[in-house]
Structure 1
Amino acid sequence: MATKQNTGGSNVFESKIGDLTVSGRAHSLSAWFVLALRLMMGYAFLYSGVSKITAAEPFGAGGYLAHSAATNGNPLAGLFAWMGSTPWFVEFANVAVPWGELFIGLGLLVGALVRLAAFFGALMMLMFYFGNWDIAHGLINGDFAYMLVFLAVAAFGAGRILGLDQYIETLDVGGQALIERYPRLEYVLG
């Protein structure tokens, strides 16, 4: 059986984990879909953050943390109960959730620090997945799907598609592009 060898190119991707290698070739329209995912999640998170910050009543995570997970058979119910009964954590969540949503959304919409924003967005969605635990229709729900969308946005470097990351990475720092001078920044940019 013959196999086709990938020779590189902007639409070819490959990854190796241990002894398993996966590769593929993306359609040229894929960039538009990745951009659409980035903008959709950016708008959703920005809107959610602004709504919480500007609400008549201040956002409060305590009740959700203390009671939501305990009522639905959640495997992390004990952790959520601890978070909901720990005053400093509740105060942290009261600030981190709305402002985190705002900054994640803003970062995705303008395409700046997209991988960092997508990481924290995926982390928030993972916490929402367990907080809203419901397996009546299987293990996959909207929170889990959104977590995967955030990870896809990060993996495809969506900040380089009509975003500021494509410019930030090329900023001149001592005669070198920023990303060449500080290669670890590729984990937060892109």
Structure 2
Amino acid sequence: MFGKILRENVYVSYLLTVFRLYIGWKWLHAGWGKITGGFDSSGFLKGAVKKAVGENPAVQPWWAEFLNGFAIPNVEVFNVLVPWGEFLVGLGLILGVFTSFVTLMGLVMNFAYMFSGTTSTNPQMVLIEIFILVAGFNAAKIGLDYWIIPFLRKQILRKGEQEAPTHST
């Protein structure tokens, strides 16, 4: 029942727009700060690996292995992906463009930060992002998705009709 309200109620769409704008601003601001501030993730990644030891590690060993084996050797890629990913997720949420997809990408980044031993605003953002994701299109009705999603659906259906095999008897 709660999911239905999130997905269909017009008043909830206004609340979800406020949530979407708030989370979008958080991502946009964080990303822009990293883009313009000479961001380097190597210290963060190495710090996360150090949190994987001890009696109660803040970082699970499997995640530390991923960071050591993949993220740290490819830190230059992450130095581009992180700031631009944050910025683009924020922009997408603010504009309401591909809202479900950018929200999912925001969730992935939030979980990556939490897996790396940080808390900060990540749990709060995750909770709000889950509401946005469950709401689906209702979270984007007041945004560019209002026009983009129906257009894309129409294009996909039109392409499907063109490619459908015709059977003659």
* TM-score, scaled relative to structure 1: 0.67
Whether the 8 Å CA contact 1:122–1:150 is kept in 2: the answer is yes
Alpha-carbon distance in 2 for matches of 1:97, 1:105 = 12
CA contact (8 A) 1:114 1:165 kept: yes
Q: What RMSD over aligned residues (CA atoms) do the two structures have, in Å?
A: 3.2
Q: TM-score, normalised by structure 2?
A: 0.74
2-side partners of 1:25 and 1:113: how far apart? 16
- C-alpha change, 1:92 and 1:80, in structure 2 (3 Å) is farther
- Which consecutive residues of structure 1, in runs of 5 or more, have no partner in the other structure? 1-5, 14-22, 135-140, 184-190
| Matches for 1:46-85 after TM superposition, within 5 Å | 46-55=28-37, 58-71=38-51, 73-80=57-64, 82-84=66-68
- Which has a greater percent of strand? 1
More helix by share: 2
Aligned-partner residue type, residue 119 of structure 1: L
Q: How many equivalent residue pairs?
A: 154
Q: Deviations over 1:144-168 (max 9, x none)?
A: 2312221221221255321111101
Matches within 5 A, 1:40-119: 40-55=22-37, 58-71=38-51, 73-80=57-64, 82-84=66-68, 86=70, 87-119=72-104
Partner AA of 2:26 in structure 1: A
Instruction: Kindly provide the CA deviation profile for residues 15-67 of structure 1, in whole angstroms up to 9, marking residues without a partner as x.
Output: xxxxxxxx889765322211111000101100111111011xx2111111112
Partner of 1:38: 20
The structure with higher relative contact order (CA 8 Å, sep 6+) is: 2
Say whether 1:152 aligns with 2:131: yes
Unaligned runs of 5+ residues in structure 2 are 161-169
